[in-house]
Structure 1
Amino acid sequence: MPTMETNSFNVILLSLAESAIAFYLFPHVFPAGTLTSFFLIFSLVNFGVLGFYILIIYPFFRSPLRHLPQPRRGFWPIIGHGLVMFKRPPGEAHLKMMKDVDNDGVIFFRGFFHTDRLLLTNPATIADVLVHRSYDFEKPQWVRTFLRQFLGDGLLMTEGDEHKHQRKQIMPAFSFRHIKELYPVFWAKSIELCEVTKAELWDKPDKVLEIGHFSTQVTMDIIGLAGLGRDIGSLRNSDDELIKNYEEILEPTAEKAIYFVCHLLFPPSVMHALPWKLNERVKVTTSNLKRICREFVVEKKSRMKVESQESVDILSILIRSNTFSDDGLVDQLLTFLAAGHETTSSAFTWATHLLSIHPEAQARLRTELYENIADPKALSEPSFDIAGLLESLPYLNAVCNETLRLYPTIPVSSRVAIRDTTISGQFIPKGTQSFVVPWAMNRNPKLWGADSEKFRPERWIDAETGRATMNGGADSNYSFLTFLHGPRSCIGEKFARAELRALVAAFVGNFEMQMANPDEKIKVGGTITSKPVQGMRLRLTPVEWGSGGHMAKMG
């Protein structure tokens, strides 16, 4: 079906033609009318007919998708199934659809104003959208407009040929060899996190900390070193400006969730005109972030003129490519600083939660670490193959994989067909929005079994060999969507996985973790990313790195 803008333009043209015909050719039929009054009357009638067609005729009698399986409950006139966008945790309502509706990979439901929406539910349909026909689908325009405020026109926001070009230029920074070289950085910062945490606990009788803030600091420091070639030092500076701005943007509040959804319902011009305090805060924080990134670019270019050897950080690689203007470099930095720290920060926070409520898994992981790492300081030595060691530990990798499965950083994603296309043989009209929901796919019992929503790291370990597996027992790689797949998959997946391994290993080896309140029910919120609504308060007991899994608690 044509877009709303096209339909409105056509209605106006039709109304002009009808009013002119009525006024000039049939004055005896409408003797008292003026050209303006004719136009207003015909516009009112035509828009009424268009509204009736859009709300009733097309979705219920003309849409080629109307015969697909659809949920029986949750539909409201005009609203459709649009309320699923407000349900928390994000993606949970989609998971319920997958469980309740018998389907062959596609579920049809209706959004606001009865617009066609598709939920993709099996590996075949997911593969079509993300891989086989990936350039038939793009992120919705309103999502890109909203995110562009924070991320500029970086890799995440571009589409088509521009995206292919940018990804090709950036890919060398995320090669396997480069990630291996960064492991010592990941480990050094992970150890620094433990030292800072112990210092913070010194004056706290209850030994309780909100781990989310420290998680953000350490991942920002890591992306600073890997992305900019400089130590931002936020772990040692609790008032860091960069951290404050990102924490303000990403804090999961109800107001921000409403603000995000309003951008779906109203055009940017209307949203920006509203006397909403959040509008002003968005302007301030995004302005601050762009200024900081511009300072980083200027500083980096000056340093590169006097550096004796070529740096391998992301910004240096982009500058040497000579394909990005200063504004383009700022856009890429905005993207990598945000996505590069938030992915692992969120995953690490959820890992500490899962291990806190599963003490047996925590103890097993600590035993594995102590048996394989006699001295954590030795991992920092240049000759030590830290990448080979951490990637070879089955239970460490199982815990990380299971965390990423249960708590994907981006729980809900969507794509819009930019031309008529197909998904697994089903005709998809241009403009149809399809939902790819990592939260739901990663927890779908049809793909992961009856215990799909339980934390069970063992699913990632082969029972016969004791080695780590790549699919967690699922039949398809498309059952795990945390990093998506295909040309639009997360370019920093290997980076994030390596970083998470180091952080989890160092932290579990140095602390025994419990929830500050064992009865607390952690609520998952956030607008784009999944974060704990009230933070993650843990009771931490420092332990001395030992061997054989025996913990020696420090006084």
Structure 2
Amino acid sequence: MLNASTLTWICLTVIGLAILKMILKQVKCWILFRNMPGPEEPAYPVLGHSLLFLGGPVKLYKELHRVMSGIRDRGHQLGRIWLSTLPIIVITGPEAAETILRSSRHNEKSAFYDLFHPWLKRGLLTSHGDKWKSRRRLLTPTFHFEILHDFLEVMNEQSNAFLRKIEPHAAHKDTFDIAWPIALCTLDTICHTAMGVSVHALDEKDDGYVHALGRTTTLLQRRMWSPWLWSETIYSLINDGKEAQQHLDTLHQFTRKVITERVVEMHHHEGLLKKKRQAFLDMLVSMYEKEKLSLDDIQEEVDTFMFEGHDTTSAALAWAFLMIGNHKEVEMKLQDEIDALFENKAQRYQLTMDDLKKLTYLELVIKESLRILPAVPIIGRKTSENCVIDGHYLPAGTEIFLFTQVIHHDPKYWENPLEFKPERFATEEFEGRHPFSYLPFSAGPRNCIGQRFAMMELKVVLASFLRKFEIEWCQPAEDVQVMGDSILRPYNGIQMRIALRG
């Protein structure tokens, strides 16, 4: 038996070795990245640049954008920030972005995405390696043109429900936050298209799933900007962690119930299912029947599609409304395009695929809105092998954050980058730009699998709105507070007044 004194020395030795290992690791990082460009402000011992980012999520993202833009404007495409003693490697230019995004080797997501694992497990967003490759190959056909055609019917229905929701604001001439009904609309749309069920989010009924989804997203945002809460052990002990687990249980129980019911339905009524409108889930269940996916696999992808197809589209729509509302001449030009499309078709309220193809100016507006305010402002990756980027050596396992908004605002590729100018995406103007200077849906092998779905929904909602309403007043863009985590969001919504068109 070891006496107390010996045990004490053993414990102190283990702790001492752990501290020494950590110090050596930090010294190695400092030597490796000390000459890499960073903020103009000095880094302090232990604290690093952390003091720059105190003050909440709005100030944090504003400072990140300022610092990253400064690195870019000094002619660098790669930089680093010291978050305490940890180096954060950031990409601010398209050539460096191409090195990472085009590679099939550097396809592992940053450890930042580990925060999504309790909810999304190892679905398409968070998986990597062979699992990601096989899953991507399996799921790509589910976004075929004919399947998207079925989804268009849902988008039309939910857009019309969205118009009914906001019409009282036009009658009362009141000011309201349009970001909120947009979020409810995209949630209803994704529930219908992903699972084939209705949660009536736009009705704002007390639905357990809707409430759990909203709270889970809020708690996840809060956790992302609190590094001291990234430990699962610590997080599980505090109130936020306990509440998050309760909501995750609700989300997982709901999706599993829908999945198992659909499996039974498809098994016993296959002929009837073939005749009805298909949901994303129906296609996954058919893969389960062919033993290509397990029930757990299906749940990973349904939960992933619910997250990615709701939050990102909601943010993109909110920013598009902000940009249109701040540029009356753009709104008028859009209405002219939409009126011409529906000339002599006053009683038709459903947009078709042919209609969407003809809304060419609307597409330019959406692209420009996504350039100025991309729904996904940061893409996190991890190097899978040693590499050199912008003249700097990065060992395998280096965490990298790619700032899409900083790349989108680079004056080297975009003249007057903060000016809202949809025409810059016309073919003659857009040709010749670096292909990785515009990354609203990422790029390369891990680009967004649902980008055609997203563009369809953006067009349908905006065209439906502009056909019926006009924006009388919109909160100035410079007054809207922006916060960024996995999604770029308006912190306090977007205020506007609308009126029925004459």
Q: Normalising TM by the smaller chain, what interval?
A: 0.7 to 0.9
Q: Which residue of 1 aligns with 2:109?
A: 139
Q: Within 2, Cα distance between the matches of 1:170 and 1:258?
A: 31
Secondary structure of the 1:477 match is coil
Q: Within 1, Cα distance between the matches of 2:360 and 2:40?
A: 43
Deviations 1:400-459 (A, max 9, x none): 11121222222122212243334366431123111111222122222212x212222121
Secondary structure of the 2:479 match is coil
Q: Within 2, Cα distance between the matches of 1:35 and 1:160?
A: 46
Q: Which residue of 1 aligns with 2:196?
A: 229
Is 1:246 the counterpart of 2:213 in the alignment? Answer: yes
State the shift of 1:35 in Å: 4.4
* Aligned residue type for 1:234: A
TM-score by length of structure 1 reads 0.79
Q: Which residue of 2 aligns with 1:201?
A: 169
Query: Given the superposition, is the C-alpha separation of residues 188 and 37 from structure 1 closer, same or farther in structure 2, using an over 3 Å criterion?
Result: closer
Task: Check whether the contact 1:207–1:541 (CA below 8 A) recurs between aligned residues.
Answer: no
Q: Which residue of 2 aligns with 1:487?
A: 445
Is 1:270 the counterpart of 2:218 in the alignment? Answer: no
Q: Within 1, Cα distance between the matches of 2:59 and 2:193?
A: 32
Q: Within 2, Cα distance between the matches of 1:415 and 1:271?
A: 24
* Aligned residue type for 2:481: K
Aligned length: 489
Task: Check whether the contact 1:218–1:234 (CA below 8 A) recurs between aligned residues.
Answer: yes
Q: Within 2, Cα distance between the matches of 1:84 and 1:173?
A: 45
Q: Which residue of 1 aligns with 2:251?
A: 289
Point out where structure 1 has 5 or more consecutive residues left out of the alignment. 1-32, 464-468, 544-551
Alignment of 1:1-12 (within 5 A): none
Specify which of 140, 147, 154 is matched with residue 171 of structure 1: 140
Q: Within 2, Cα distance between the matches of 1:342 and 1:362?
A: 25
TM-score by length of structure 2 reads 0.87
Q: Within 2, Cα distance between the matches of 1:84 and 1:139?
A: 26
State the shift of 1:89 in Å: 6.5
Q: Within 1, Cα distance between the matches of 2:361 and 2:50?
A: 41
Query: Given the superposition, is the C-alpha separation of residues 373 and 144 from structure 1 closer, same or farther in structure 2, using an over 3 Å criterion?
Result: same
Query: Given the superposition, is the C-alpha separation of residues 103 and 280 from structure 1 closer, same or farther in structure 2, using an over 3 Å criterion?
Result: same
State the shift of 1:50 in Å: 4.0
* Aligned residue type for 1:353: L
Q: Which residue of 1 aligns with 2:101?
A: 130
Q: Within 2, Cα distance between the matches of 1:162 and 1:279?
A: 29
Q: State percent identity of aligned pairs.
A: 22
Is 1:320 the counterpart of 2:286 in the alignment? Answer: yes
Q: Which residue of 2 aligns with 1:378?
A: 348
Q: Which residue of 2 aligns with 1:8?
A: none
Task: Check whether the contact 1:130–1:486 (CA below 8 A) recurs between aligned residues.
Answer: yes
Q: Which residue of 1 aligns with 2:419?
A: 454
Q: Which residue of 1 aligns with 2:119?
A: 150
Query: Given the superposition, is the C-alpha separation of residues 222 and 37 from structure 1 closer, same or farther in structure 2, using an over 3 Å criterion?
Result: closer
Query: Which is higher, the Rg of structure 1 or of structure 2?
Result: 1
Query: Given the superposition, is the C-alpha separation of residues 289 and 514 from structure 1 closer, same or farther in structure 2, using an over 3 Å criterion?
Result: farther
Is 1:391 the counterpart of 2:357 in the alignment? Answer: yes
RMSD over aligned Cα atoms: 3.0
* Aligned residue type for 2:66: K
Secondary structure of the 1:279 match is helix
Q: Which residue of 2 aligns with 1:7?
A: none
State the shift of 1:319 in Å: 1.0
Q: Within 2, Cα distance between the matches of 1:150 and 1:420?
A: 31
Point out where structure 2 has 5 or more consecutive residues left out of the alignment. none
Q: Which residue of 2 aligns with 1:25?
A: none
State the shift of 1:490 in Å: 1.1
Deviations 1:441-484 (A, max 9, x none): 122222212x2122221212357xxxxx7x4x671221111210
Specify which of 421, 436, 448 is matched with residue 402 of structure 2: 436
Specify which of 483, 491, 494 is matched with residue 533 of structure 1: 491
